[in-house]
């Protein structure tokens, strides 16, 4: 990425700006955090307000930084330090690759001196994170490790019989070891963490992973002030079947006319829901204490939250680009053999394709400290006082918004289209003022209409206007 483009980006998981090197310890923490987490770049010479202030005596500053990194960080690392010129100002770029560490600040020691990157901040690694970083040196992931205090009897034989019968494979000790459900510790055979998480008896799961369950809730409105329905699901494999059923009974079908036929339209893409659920179970951080999955349904959105940030060495940009990094090898293998996971790294593409083809709003992916949340904006945006039920033959059919368009839209989008039909040059600010929603929601409404080729923008960015597209223009 060109330096000019880098300077326009906000600080985040892989980017930090510093005005100068007057606080070297903070720079060192960022270098350590980038190396431990997913790599990144520290840009020196840019102020907090975005002003390019430059670095005085850049060669001397470069040498000081190189010496500081060599003397202050262990194990030894050699990040790339580069001097560049932008707007006649000299900047220093410290490009840090992700490497198995953990790297730490020598002055604080290998226990207290380890930092990781969470969002745009550096955080001291807690005990669980430190252990996860140390596991990167070994070939086995957390789910492949022995589950302390267990033996073969802690696996549910009935559940295993069902799974192996479905896969048309013989169930025996060798097969369980090959699958990673059994392993060895101290000369005896024990259940692995994956074995207990996926196939453990109820008692074993409660003892070893009491929070490895999915909590589902349907709320009345847009916040969590009042429940309409709730259910806890303790078996994760069973939950992959039961969660979609919970969602189906707590969301609604709408109808639209497609030619001469009436077509039912789900509030959320079934393909996207399945992919996000499977991805959550496959890549969750089961080493976190108190971890749990949440499926929260509101009147205007659905959220799926899983424990753990993205795996070390992985960023949201990597994920969207199709890069795959496996956190739980044994769990992923089971899901793949069940046909729930396909090619590594292809899930995001299937999600975006299903939403685009079905006319659903784009999903929002958020890394919030020690969890990842995926937000599904509602295609229908039910009001808070509407009953939640499945569509029936007596449900009203959605009427066309205007002559050239026969698409399902929410109330804000319908208002926006009506304004355009009347010749009013309305933009996102109009939706914000009229409906009292956030600018992000208004822009998302308009983006969905543009994506479905109902409207287009014409003219310069500041002075241009939106207009309705005709049926002929909207046709593929």
Pair 154, 191: CB distance under 8 Å: yes
Q: Which positions ≥6 away from 366 have C-beta within 8 Å?
A: 372, 373, 374, 375
What pLDDT is recorded for position 256?
Answer: 61
State the alpha helices, DSSP H only, in 53-188: 58-72, 109-112, 127-135, 157-166, 173-179
Which pair of tokens denotes residue 172? Answer: 């025996």
Cis before 102 (ω within 30) = yes
Closest of 88, 307, 107, 359 to residue 197, by C-alpha: 307
Pair 252, 267: CB distance under 8 Å: yes
Closest of 252, 399, 376, 357 to residue 303, by C-alpha: 376
Q: Which ranges of the chain have pLDDT less than 70? A: 1, 137-139, 254-263, 342-345, 381-408, 470-476
Q: What is the rounded CA–CA span in Å between residue 102 and residue 89? A: 35
| Buried-state track 401-424, b at ≥16 Cβ within 10 A, e below 16 | beebbbbbbbebbebbbebbeeee
What pLDDT is recorded for position 317?
Answer: 80
Closest of 470, 132, 96 to residue 286, by C-alpha: 132
CATH code for the part of the protein at 411-474: 1.10.10.10
CATH code for the part of the protein at 3-135: 3.30.950.30
What pLDDT is recorded for position 384?
Answer: 34
Q: What does the DSSP assignment read for 286-326?
A: TTSTT--EEEEE-SSEEEEEEES-SPTT--HHHHHTT----
Cis before 447 (ω within 30) = no
What pLDDT is recorded for position 42?
Answer: 94
Domain boundaries, the chain: 3-135, 142-208, 214-377, 411-474
Q: Domain 214-377 adopts which CATH fold?
A: Heat Shock Protein 90 (3.30.565)
């Amino acid at each position: 990425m060109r330096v000019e483009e880098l300077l326009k980006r906000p600080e985040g998981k892989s980017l930090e700006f510093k005005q100068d090197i007057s606080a070297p310890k903070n720079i060192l923490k960022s270098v350590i955090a980038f190396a431990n987490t997913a790599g990144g770049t520290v840009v020196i010479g840019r102020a907090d307000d975005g002003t390019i202030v430059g670095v005085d005596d850049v060669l001397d500053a470069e040498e000081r930084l190189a010496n500081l990194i060599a003397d202050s960080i262990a194990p030894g690392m050699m990040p790339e330090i580069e001097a560049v010129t932008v707007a006649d100002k000299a900047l220093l770029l410290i490009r840090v690759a992700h490497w198995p560490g953990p790297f730490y600040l020598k002055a604080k020691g290998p226990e207290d001196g380890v930092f990781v990157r969470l969002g745009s901040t550096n955080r001291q690694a807690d005990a669980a994170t430190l252990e996860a970083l140390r596991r990167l040196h070994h070939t086995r992931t957390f789910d492949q490790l022995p589950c302390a205090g267990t033996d073969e009897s802690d696996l549910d034989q009935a559940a295993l019989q069902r799974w192996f019968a479905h896969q048309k494979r013989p169930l025996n000790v060798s097969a369980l070891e090959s699958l990673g459900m059994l392993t060895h510790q101290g000369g005896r055979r024990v259940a692995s963490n994956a074995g207990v998480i996926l196939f453990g008896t109820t008692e074993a799961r409660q003892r070893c992973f009491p929070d490895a369950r999915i909590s589902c809730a349907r709320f009345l409105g847009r916040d969590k002030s009042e429940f309409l329905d709730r259910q806890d699901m303790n078996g994760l494999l069973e939950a992959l079947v039961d969660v979609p059923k919970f969602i189906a009974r707590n969301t609604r079908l709408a109808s639209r006319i497609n030619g001469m036929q009436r077509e039912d339209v789900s509030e959320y893409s079934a393909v996207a829901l399945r992919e996000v659920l499977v991805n959550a179970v496959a890549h969750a951080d089961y080493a976190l204490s108190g971890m749990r999955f949440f499926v929260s349904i509101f009147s205007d959105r659905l959220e799926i939250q899983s424990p753990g940030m993205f795996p070390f060495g992985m960023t949201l940009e990597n994920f969207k680009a199709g890069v795959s990094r496996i956190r739980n090898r044994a769990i992923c293998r089971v899901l793949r053999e069940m046909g729930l996971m396909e090619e590594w790294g292809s899930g995001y593409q299937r999600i975006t394709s299903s939403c685009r083809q079905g006319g659903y709003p784009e999903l929002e992916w958020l890394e919030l400290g020690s969890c990842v949340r995926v937000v599904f904006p509602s295609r229908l945006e039910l009001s808070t006082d509407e009953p939640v039920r499945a569509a029936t033959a007596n449900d009203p059919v959605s009427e066309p918004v205007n002559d050239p368009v026969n698409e399902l839209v929410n109330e804000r989008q319908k208002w926006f289209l009506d304004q355009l039909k009347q010749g009013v040059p309305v933009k996102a600010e109009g939706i914000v003022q009229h409906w009292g929603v956030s600018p992000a929601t208004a822009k998302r409404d308009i983006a969905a209409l543009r994506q479905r080729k109902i409207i287009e923008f014409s003219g310069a960015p500041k002075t241009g206007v939106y207009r309705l597209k005709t049926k002929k223009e909207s046709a593929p």
